[in-house]
Chains A and B, each alone.
Chain A
């Protein structure tokens, strides 16, 4: 597929090894230049990423850097697909064997034109017609390979069902037996008998690794091989599905022995039994991998006598229910023996593993800001690799700290929704527009997907790495959801406004707060979020909570914030890999399977923060209530905006003005995802609801599903009173405060009319007050009073007072 002018959609793609880099630290860049002989690199400071001609347009500032200039181009490829890789060792070079495991295949056969056609390897120390292995052939049937010989059951395995599979080979007789035993047999399923053959061959061994969910397809000492998870070896035959309890023995076992071997290694209690399931079987056991051990690690533990531990590459999903899951315990930490499965996917990716093209030692005096390396060719190719420069820990170089939502950028990284999830069109209420990045990704699934996507086997994608080109983390990129910037490029609307109005600010990232804690933020007078800080880990929320408690000021510039539970994967570096699972409620583009709600990273229950008691409304005062993506609307002030506690925010703004009836995201400041005040869901009782867009949204907007118990009519923007955005204010202890603007589209309205508009003025009024040194002025003394959580609803107030009143009075 090529673009309209006959060339590839993107011939330059690249990434950096950090998204947030500290002044004085290095950052390395990796570039794929697939076509042009050379490319030019240029350091730029990014100001505004929106190319919409109705706005101020794209803005960047070129800067000096040692890497600026021409570089030789080279093609660098990504090898996706997750595997367990066990390095070649003598015990794996068996003469005869028994291989056995449980499998739960998700794509035993592939549709015509599928991006990775061909057979799938389950466990194989096999390459180029040498070695041995268990496969699924192109028809989805179990297949044993010994050297160039093939033995198949000829029976396709059922997808999304457990099967026990085993193969034996007797070295002396050449007798091979293949077993395929489905865990469940439906009434009309034929019986699958074992298949036997006598093979006139002796296993030829090579130094290729034993691979699970793939095999060593070929050697490649060139550039392509250097970026493989196994350098010099290209892995192929990627398997989609689960593998559980693989075992290898060095002789052909009987069916009864195979059954016993399901128990695997049992090395404990040497006074009672052998180190295998029986004393006799312990003498032939080579390896007994137990995927329930080390779930948060990159190691596949072998409990057998040789310690043939495997390396888990490219981030398969762990903490998966095994063939023996009982449905009683749903936390893998409480019943690890039932979580012995790994789910492998052919589009899993942890690290592109590209060779470094250049390194940039960030000067200690390079100001904290949003930067990018701009990569161009003489033929018009272009890509940007953004990164953020932060001050050292404990140092603030401005009164304002802007938080770039890196966890969110990772959650949305390389999403494929417009091309794959056609039902997404129901959300956006129009026909989606695909950009060059979407088109490139549509044919390069090896770049991996987002946490909004499903894998190519349609299972949920719950892990995202940033060690790859993330083409949605780019300026000049309009997202199909809004036909406008989204996440990172949308957050540049805020950066541009701050820059144009002359504010000095530091730029920090989610991960900096998560890893550094309160020290990273406590020196700022005010913290400002991006437009959509939806995905957050516990450390981030803890730090923000502590910051607010100590007099910090917090400006929540968007909506649908603090919604999903994330954890950073402990087996990877700072901020490199994040995990999120979509469980039983919330806005879920996929839903985790039963028993698979707990993160593999640390056992945390996944899903919404709301469902572990951490209400999103409690962070900044408002929380997600509805979403729609066709067009936006505007706010009007409420009487509470005249309260002296907050009236300063509206200086210069008339009471009847339409606030934000313009904008670069949906045409209005109140749009896309909307938050409201709800004191029963965590908004502090003293929250002032100062402006609202109630009653002005389209039928494309719908109430979030966590706000109702069953489907019913009346949930859209033309019907439901909670489909609205509320701008809200509340004070926090020690002279702190929160202002919530409650709409993702809000920042898209800041630049209207050359930054002279009521959204810009409101934001400026708030920021000027929040950034002042020392505690904010005390509220009027009569504002300090006892409040119930429901006291804001006059109707409920009346009911409650009436009920308490003496009867007959």
Chain B
């Protein structure tokens, strides 16, 4: 598997830079992907990003597959004012217990926040995640992470 890149590695710096460039193109798109396009605010002619940097694509997929409550809770976006404000939250992994805010930072672009969560996840998930070093009893039973079970 492609490991979550370690701090100060060349791979991490490169992924962050590409992710940043893709997010800049996605500003103004009613959607989001880690891809560059023909111009900012357009979804058309996707290239770069996950289509050209395999390790970035694989690392993002692994982050997306993480369990809701693992490693302190999965980061998500919470819209606090429709079309105007968004904040970073964290899933609890317990049904009936809603996500919780992580900090007081308010974002005014719904895609900008995607980049900051990517940075948080790089620090959140260990390089060895999914490797034998992380074996626990949960490996013996699937759960409701439905897209992958």
**B80 to chain A: closest residue by CB:** A4
Give chain B interface residues in 68-127, CB to chain A under 8 Å. 68, 74-83, 85-87, 89, 91-92, 94-101, 106, 110, 113-114, 117
Contact A698 B94 (CB under 8 A): no
Known contacts: A433-B110, A482-B31. The answer to whether A420 contacts B79 by CB under 8 A is no
Report B68 CB to chain A, min CB distance, Å. Answer: 4
Contact B79 A425 (CB under 8 A): no
Judged by a CB distance under 8 angstroms, whether B17 is at the interface is no
Judged by a CB distance under 8 angstroms, whether B139 is at the interface is no
Report A210 CB to chain B, min CB distance, Å. Answer: 28
Report A359 CB to chain B, min CB distance, Å. Answer: 30
Contact B97 A51 (CB under 8 A): no
* Chain A residues within an 8 Å CB radius of B82: 51, 435-436, 476, 478
Report B128 CB to chain A, min CB distance, Å. Answer: 20
Cα distance, A421 to B142, chains bound together (Å): 13
* Chain A residues within an 8 Å CB radius of B80: 3-5
Judged by a CB distance under 8 angstroms, whether A431 is at the interface is yes
* Chain B residues within an 8 Å CB radius of A661: 42, 44
Judged by a CB distance under 8 angstroms, whether A52 is at the interface is yes
Contact B44 A434 (CB under 8 A): no
Cα distance, A454 to B65, chains bound together (Å): 18
Known contacts: A433-B77, A484-B30, A698-B46. The answer to whether A420 contacts B68 by CB under 8 A is yes
Binary CB contact string for chain B from 26 to 68 against chain A (1 if under 8 A, 0 otherwise): 1011111111010000111010001100000100110011111
* Chain B residues within an 8 Å CB radius of A432: 76-77
* Chain A residues within an 8 Å CB radius of B33: 429-430, 630-631, 698, 700
**B147 to chain A: closest residue by CB:** A423
Judged by a CB distance under 8 angstroms, whether B149 is at the interface is yes
Contact A426 B61 (CB under 8 A): yes
Cα distance, A419 to B96, chains bound together (Å): 10
* Chain B residues within an 8 Å CB radius of A478: 79, 82
Per DSSP, chain A at the interface is: loop
Contact B30 A667 (CB under 8 A): yes
Report A757 CB to chain B, min CB distance, Å. Answer: 14
Contact B146 A1 (CB under 8 A): no
Binary CB contact string for chain A from 610 to 631 against chain B (1 if under 8 A, 0 otherwise): 0000000000000000000111
| Other-chain contact of A422, B89, B91, B100 (Cβ < 8 Å) | B91
Contact B146 A590 (CB under 8 A): yes
Contact B31 A454 (CB under 8 A): no
Give chain A interface residues in 373-422, CB to chain B under 8 Å. 416, 418-422
Contact B32 A483 (CB under 8 A): yes
Cα distance, A442 to B87, chains bound together (Å): 17
Report A590 CB to chain B, min CB distance, Å. Answer: 6
Contact B98 A442 (CB under 8 A): yes
- Chain B interface size band reads 35 or more
Binary CB contact string for chain A from 73 to 112 against chain B (1 if under 8 A, 0 otherwise): 0000000000000000000000000000000000000011
| Other-chain contact of A434, B42, B76, B94, B147 (Cβ < 8 Å) | B76
Judged by a CB distance under 8 angstroms, whether B143 is at the interface is yes
| Other-chain contact of B30, A421, A434, A658, A666 (Cβ < 8 Å) | A666
**A457 to chain B: closest residue by CB:** B95
Judged by a CB distance under 8 angstroms, whether B144 is at the interface is yes
**A444 to chain B: closest residue by CB:** B96
Judged by a CB distance under 8 angstroms, whether B148 is at the interface is yes
Report B142 CB to chain A, min CB distance, Å. Answer: 10
Cα distance, A671 to B33, chains bound together (Å): 13
Cα distance, A484 to B30, chains bound together (Å): 6
- Chain A interface size band reads 35 or more
**B87 to chain A: closest residue by CB:** A4
Judged by a CB distance under 8 angstroms, whether B9 is at the interface is no
Judged by a CB distance under 8 angstroms, whether A766 is at the interface is no
* Chain B residues within an 8 Å CB radius of A436: 79, 82
* Chain A residues within an 8 Å CB radius of B148: 423, 426
| Other-chain contact of B110, A424, A483, A665 (Cβ < 8 Å) | A483
* Chain B residues within an 8 Å CB radius of A458: 143-144
Cα distance, A54 to B37, chains bound together (Å): 18
* Chain B residues within an 8 Å CB radius of A357: none
Binary CB contact string for chain B from 1 to 44 against chain A (1 if under 8 A, 0 otherwise): 00000000000000000000000001011111111010000111
Q: Which of A17-25, A113-121, A242-250, A496-504 contacts B (4 or more CB under 8 A)?
A: A113-121
* Chain B residues within an 8 Å CB radius of A698: 33, 35, 46, 50-51
Judged by a CB distance under 8 angstroms, whether A718 is at the interface is yes
| Other-chain contact of A454, B30, B77, B144 (Cβ < 8 Å) | B144
Contact B144 A632 (CB under 8 A): no
Report B47 CB to chain A, min CB distance, Å. Answer: 10
Binary CB contact string for chain A from 685 to 726 against chain B (1 if under 8 A, 0 otherwise): 000000000000011100000000000000000100000000
Contact A443 B42 (CB under 8 A): no
Cα distance, A786 to B102, chains bound together (Å): 65
Binary CB contact string for chain A from 246 to 266 against chain B (1 if under 8 A, 0 otherwise): 000000000000000000000
* Chain B residues within an 8 Å CB radius of A668: 43-44
Give chain A interface residues in 474-488, CB to chain B under 8 Å. 476, 478, 482-484
Cα distance, A629 to B86, chains bound together (Å): 20
**B149 to chain A: closest residue by CB:** A423
Cα distance, A423 to B61, chains bound together (Å): 10
Contact B75 A431 (CB under 8 A): yes
**A664 to chain B: closest residue by CB:** B30
Judged by a CB distance under 8 angstroms, whether A663 is at the interface is yes
* Chain B residues within an 8 Å CB radius of A112: 94
* Chain B residues within an 8 Å CB radius of A431: 75-77, 113-114, 117
Judged by a CB distance under 8 angstroms, whether A448 is at the interface is no
Report A117 CB to chain B, min CB distance, Å. Answer: 10
Known contacts: A418-B76, A666-B31, A667-B29. The answer to whether A113 contacts B43 by CB under 8 A is no
* Chain B residues within an 8 Å CB radius of A631: 26, 29, 31-33, 35, 37, 43, 46
- The interface centre, meaning the residue of A425, A432, A443, A478 with most chain B CB atoms within 10 A of its CB, is A425
Contact B146 A589 (CB under 8 A): yes
**A416 to chain B: closest residue by CB:** B95
**A630 to chain B: closest residue by CB:** B33
Contact B147 A426 (CB under 8 A): yes
Contact A421 B147 (CB under 8 A): yes
Cα distance, A456 to B117, chains bound together (Å): 27
Contact B76 A667 (CB under 8 A): no
Judged by a CB distance under 8 angstroms, whether A748 is at the interface is yes
Cα distance, A528 to B33, chains bound together (Å): 31
* Chain B residues within an 8 Å CB radius of A115: 94-97
Contact A422 B68 (CB under 8 A): yes
Judged by a CB distance under 8 angstroms, whether A636 is at the interface is no
Report A752 CB to chain B, min CB distance, Å. Answer: 11
Judged by a CB distance under 8 angstroms, whether A292 is at the interface is no
Report B64 CB to chain A, min CB distance, Å. Answer: 4
Judged by a CB distance under 8 angstroms, whether A48 is at the interface is no
Judged by a CB distance under 8 angstroms, whether A633 is at the interface is yes
Known contacts: A422-B91, A630-B31. The answer to whether A434 contacts B78 by CB under 8 A is yes
| Other-chain contact of A423, B30, B65, B92, B99 (Cβ < 8 Å) | B65
Binary CB contact string for chain A from 644 to 680 against chain B (1 if under 8 A, 0 otherwise): 0000000000000010010111111001000000000
Known contacts: A1-B100, A633-B43. The answer to whether A434 contacts B67 by CB under 8 A is no
Contact B144 A419 (CB under 8 A): no
Contact B51 A699 (CB under 8 A): yes
Cα distance, A658 to B44, chains bound together (Å): 10
Report A685 CB to chain B, min CB distance, Å. Answer: 34
Judged by a CB distance under 8 angstroms, whether A445 is at the interface is yes
A interface list, Cβ under 8 A from B: 1, 3-5, 51-54, 111-116, 416, 418-427, 429-436, 439, 442-443, 445, 454, 456, 458, 476, 478, 482-484, 589-590, 629-634, 658, 661, 663-668, 671, 698-700, 718, 748
Known: A432-B77, A631-B35, A718-B51. 10 other contacts (CB 8 A): A422-B66, A433-B79, A483-B30, A631-B43, A667-B30, A671-B31, A698-B35, A698-B46, A698-B50, A700-B33
Q: Offer 12 A-B interface pairs, CB within 8 angstroms, sorted by A.
A: A114-B94, A423-B145, A426-B147, A429-B50, A439-B99, A478-B82, A482-B31, A483-B31, A630-B33, A631-B35, A633-B44, A665-B30
The 5 closest A-B pairs by CB, nearest first: A115-B96, A667-B43, A630-B33, A423-B147, A442-B98
